[in-house]
Amino acid sequence: MTQAEAEKKPLFVIFGFEDCQWCDYLYRRGMNDAELRGKYQQAAALTYFDTKSTNQAEQLILPGGATITRAEIIKRFQAYPTPSWVFISPSGEVLQANRSGKSTSREMLRDLEAALLKK
Q: What are the tens digits of pLDDT across the range 52-87?
A: 887 878 888 776 778 889 889 889 888 888 888 899
- Judged against a pLDDT cut of 70, whether residue 8 lies above it is answered with yes
The whole model's pTM is what? Answer: 0.83
Minimal CA–CA distance to 96: which of 77, 81, 82?
77
Distances from the Cα of 52 to the Cαs of 1, 47, 80, in angstroms? 21, 15, 11
- Judged against a pLDDT cut of 80, whether residue 100 lies above it is answered with no
- pLDDT value for 101: 67
Range among 24-28, 100-104, 115-119 rated most confident: 115-119
Residue 85: which domain range?
2-118
HSE-CB of 19 using CA atoms within 13 angstroms:
2
Q: What are the tens digits of pLDDT across the range 17-48?
A: 988 888 888 877 777 788 888 899 999 999 88
The domain that holds 95 is classified in CATH as 3.40.30.10
- For the chain, how many structural domains are there in total? 1
